[in-house]
Amino acid sequence: MKAQGDVHLVSYRHLVLDLPAGLVNFERSLITALQSLARLTQRHDTDEYLLRRFDSILANLCGAQPESDLENCIELAYLELRNELGLQSDLHAARAFARQVTRWQLYEDVPGALLYLRKFFTLSLLCPQRYQPLAASIAGVRFLEGELCDEVRVDSRVPALFIGGSRSLVPSGADWCQLRRAGRKDSEGAALVVDSLLELVALHQTQLRVASAGLEGCLP
């Protein structure tokens, strides 16, 4: 764990968690599937480029076909990306790709961490709308009404902390705790860096005990 300055988790009231990056290993499964596709070409596209193009295509398809289910849109996005990469259409491969990237599994520490954090914070789970049906069907966790959202507006009167891997997603007015699930090293600007939600919970428990001991010491 790395902290810049004194970070008092107990002073925050609102936690914003980046769901795809922080709670499920979605990005890695998507990168793995896209790398398999890229190996069929003679190109040398980066993982970042493939992710950006796929997500852009998928967002456009979901917006243009709101009545279609997510898995169907993923299949179509895969086929369109294949075409961009100069590959022939393959419906069987598209279906296999969609099945692979829609099997979301929680990191082991998530269910317990969410139960604990809800006792002390208002939680917002930041998740693009097109992925929310997947999030709502994840085994092992139930999100409360209003927790899943594709945009978060932070109330300046309520101290907020964003927990995720990318600084670019931090809502205006929130501090940033970098959650390094994917091993990201660039933590410039982060108030706190943790490797798991379990580590965050442990820090909060420690600070609660210290705060409680301080209050007891002030009693006559």
Quote the pLDDT of residue 123. 94
Residue with tokens 């829609």, as numbered in its chain:
102
| CA distances to 51, 61, 65, 163 from 37, in Å | 12, 20, 24, 31
- Where are the CATH 1.10.150.750 domain residues in the chain? 26-101
As a whole number of angstroms, the distance between CA 78 and CA 85 comes to 11
Q: What is the mean pLDDT of residues 55-66?
A: 86
Which pair of structure tokens corresponds to residue 194?
A: 């943790």
- Where are the CATH 3.40.50.1000 domain residues in the chain? 2-24+105-218
Instruction: Look up residue 162 and give its amino acid.
Output: F
N- to C-terminal Cα separation, the chain: 36
Quote the pLDDT of residue 89. 92
Task: State pTM to two decimals.
Answer: 0.75
CATH fold of 26-101, please? DNA polymerase; domain 1 (1.10.150)
Residue with tokens 């091993």, as numbered in its chain:
183
List pLDDT tens digits, range 104-162: 878 889 999 999 999 999 999 998 888 888 888 887 888 888 899 989 999 999 999 99
As a whole number of angstroms, the distance between CA 109 and CA 115 comes to 11
As a whole number of angstroms, the distance between CA 107 and CA 18 comes to 13
Quote the pLDDT of residue 184. 57
- CATH fourth-level superfamily of 2-24+105-218: HAD superfamily/HAD-like (3.40.50.1000)
